[in-house]
């Protein structure tokens, strides 16, 4: 098997084929770990951990400590971020070597159905042959021309990870996951932050009351949020960005951060030469085995346009690898957790109320507030709720939604419950340790009114 792309889908697929007794090689054009490790999940969470630490210093007096005159060293924050990324990258390289997966640093392109041409970084090229090929080339930020992107004043999340100082003001175009996470980061470090979102709410794919609560808490942090609003143009003058909104207002800021989604990297990899079909959004069309329309060619991760999440890419990688090795499995999207590392965190799994209602379920709801949870009050983080959606006819779980402390960890229990087709009663009758944050899920399940 030949894997094109060494991100969380590609390297996991290569390791899985090797584990099952196959022979795999991997081609990576930039750095092992892909966007997730080098320009996405890991560096952003490392920066957010620094912001969270700063927040704790500011609340120290509440817990009986004095921590005044806290100074910020952005260079050390970036140095720590780079150290975390480098350590994990070395770990991936070690796992691949241990599994005897050959790694070629360069750009891969499909030459024939079973051949990939590699333009190596040192300037030479080579051709690899394999029975099967997995395309795992990921995605990149989507940038509209009207935003006047330059990578300096108008940036994406990739440049935001390398800023050597905190700007005084930032306008974020897009109130999705990336936009809201960076808003919390910049706000905590003292920047004046504005989010402009075209939809009627931020994180518009999540539960409306969850989005509403996040909006409230972010506004308490002095983050300005403009919904149902469009950025008409961005002009640059004297080191500043002049952002004109559809309302006619013009905002002057130091930086504009574009977070309006991502697009699959399907260009220049030879799809047309071998006849691999793409969809309307340039994504590679795959079935539940992760196979394309061309026998022996698979695609996984963001490039498929399914769910642009690192853990989905890894699961798809395992599915593709198992099918290549003769184990017939299908990718199951029923219980995929979605996590947003804002302050407070947001996490969900399964259907939203809107989706369940549209699917004609008799939706019943149970809620429980963190303000009534002993552990949440003990740690000084009582904001948020846990919400359980249930099929009123069967009692089966349909979805779980959390905004509150450690939500991204708490969602794991709900994910297992949904994967195993548990009912709300199963969740409610499971004994939970006390005092813990996860008791909010049990209480929410108990609170479902049929």
Beta strand pairing call for 224-226 and 192-196: parallel
110 found inside a domain: yes
Residues 236-276 have pLDDT tens digits of 999 999 999 999 999 999 999 999 999 999 999 999 999 99
Residues 313-355 have pLDDT tens digits of 999 999 999 999 999 999 999 999 999 999 999 999 999 999 9
170 found inside a domain: yes
- The CB density around residue 126, as the number of other CB atoms within 10 Å, is 11
Active site residues: 434
Query: Are 133 and 268 in the same domain?
Result: yes
Q: Which domain holds residue 438?
A: 338-446
Say if residues 387 and 213 touch (Cβ distance below 8 Å): no
The pTM assigned to this predicted structure is: 0.95
Q: What is the mean pLDDT of residues 364-379?
A: 97
| pLDDT band (50, 70, 90) for residue 68 | confident
395 found inside a domain: yes
**End-to-end distance of the chain based on CA atoms, in angstroms?**
52
Percent of the chain with pLDDT over 70: 100
Say if residues 349 and 335 touch (Cβ distance below 8 Å): yes
Please count the structural domains in the chain: 3
The residues, ordered by sequence, that sit 6+ positions from 190 with a Cβ below 8 Å of its Cβ are 166
Mean pLDDT for all residues in the chain: 96
What pLDDT is stored for residue 449 in this prediction?
80
Rounded distance between C-alpha atoms, residue 59 and residue 31, angstroms: 39
Query: Are 195 and 118 in the same domain?
Result: no
Report which secondary-structure segment, H or E, holds 233.
strand 231-237
The residues, ordered by sequence, that sit 6+ positions from 310 with a Cβ below 8 Å of its Cβ are 7, 8, 36, 40, 41
Beta strand pairing call for 169-173 and 192-196: parallel
The residue written with tokens 């004994």 in the block is: 431
Q: Above 80 in pLDDT, residue 450?
A: no
Please say which residue of 213, 230, 260 terminates a domain: 260
Rounded distance between C-alpha atoms, residue 192 and residue 182, angstroms: 12
Q: What is the mean pLDDT of residues 90-107?
A: 98
Say if residues 32 and 103 touch (Cβ distance below 8 Å): yes
CATH at 350: 3.30.390.30
The residues, ordered by sequence, that sit 6+ positions from 232 with a Cβ below 8 Å of its Cβ are 146, 244, 245, 246
Q: Above 80 in pLDDT, residue 439?
A: yes
Query: Are 204 and 303 in the same domain?
Result: no
Query: Are 77 and 41 in the same domain?
Result: yes
Helix axes 10-19 and 310-324, enclosed angle (nearest 10): 30
| pLDDT band (50, 70, 90) for residue 199 | very high
332 found inside a domain: no
What pLDDT is stored for residue 67 in this prediction?
83
Q: What is the mean pLDDT of residues 124-151?
A: 95
Query: Are 254 and 276 in the same domain?
Result: no
Q: What is the mean pLDDT of residues 187-205?
A: 97
Query: Are 134 and 153 in the same domain?
Result: no
| pLDDT band (50, 70, 90) for residue 123 | confident
What pLDDT is stored for residue 122 in this prediction?
85
Residues 1-53 have pLDDT tens digits of 999 999 999 999 999 999 999 999 999 999 999 999 999 999 999 999 999 99
The residue written with tokens 């021309």 in the block is: 145
């Amino acid at each position: 098997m030949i894997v094109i792309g060494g991100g969380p889908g590609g390297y996991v697929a290569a390791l899985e084929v090797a584990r099952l007794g196959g022979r795999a090689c991997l081609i990576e054009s930039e750095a092992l770990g892909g966007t997730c490790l080098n320009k996405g999940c890991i560096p952003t969470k490392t920066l957010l951990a620094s912001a969270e630490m700063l927040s704790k210093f500011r609340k120290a007096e509440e817990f009986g400590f004095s921590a005044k005159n806290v100074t910020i060293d952005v260079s050390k924050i970036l140095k720590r971020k780079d150290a975390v990324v480098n350590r994990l990258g070395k770990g991936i390289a070690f796992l691949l070597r241990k599994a005897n997966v050959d790694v070629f640093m360069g750009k891969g392109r499909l030459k024939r159905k079973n051949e990939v041409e590699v333009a190596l970084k040192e300037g030479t090229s080579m051709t690899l042959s394999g029975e099967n090929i997995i395309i795992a080339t990921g995605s990149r930020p989507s940038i509209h021309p009207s935003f006047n992107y330059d990578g300096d004043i108008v940036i994406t999340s990739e440049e935001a990870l390398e800023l050597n100082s905190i700007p005084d003001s930032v306008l974020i175009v897009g109130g999705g996951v990336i936009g809201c996470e960076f808003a919390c980061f910049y706000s905590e470090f003292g920047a004046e932050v504005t989010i402009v979102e075209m939809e009627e709410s931020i994180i518009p794919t999540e539960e409306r009351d969850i989005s509403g609560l996040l909006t409230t808490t972010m506004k308490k942090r002095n983050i300005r949020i403009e919904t149902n609003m469009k950025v008409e143009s961005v002009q640059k003058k004297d080191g500043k960005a002049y952002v004109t909104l559809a309302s006619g207002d013009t905002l002057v800021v130091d930086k504009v951060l574009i977070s309006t989604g991502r697009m699959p990297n399907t260009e220049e990899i030879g799809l047309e030469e071998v006849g691999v079909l793409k969809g309307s959004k340039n994504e590679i069309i795959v079935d539940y085995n992760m196979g394309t329309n061309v026998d022996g060619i698979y695609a996984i991760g963001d490039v498929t346009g399914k769910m642009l999440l690192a853990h989905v890419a890894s699961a798809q990688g395992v599915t593709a690898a198992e099918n290549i090795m003769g184990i017939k499995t299908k990718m199951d999207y029923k219980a995929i957790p979605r996590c947003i590392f804002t302050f407070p965190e947001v996490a969900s799994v399964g259907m939203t109320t809107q989706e369940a209602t549209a699917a004609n379920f008799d939706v019943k709801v149970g809620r429980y507030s963190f303000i009534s949870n002993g552990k949440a009050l003990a740690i000084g983080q009582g904001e948020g709720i846990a919400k359980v959606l249930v099929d009123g006819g069967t009692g089966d779980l349909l979805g779980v939604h959390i905004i509150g402390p450690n939500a991204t960890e708490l969602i794991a229990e709900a994910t297992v419950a949904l994967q195993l087709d548990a009912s709300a009663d199963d969740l409610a009758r499971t004994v939970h340790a006390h005092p813990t944050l996860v008791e909010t899920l049990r209480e929410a399940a108990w609170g479902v009114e049929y």
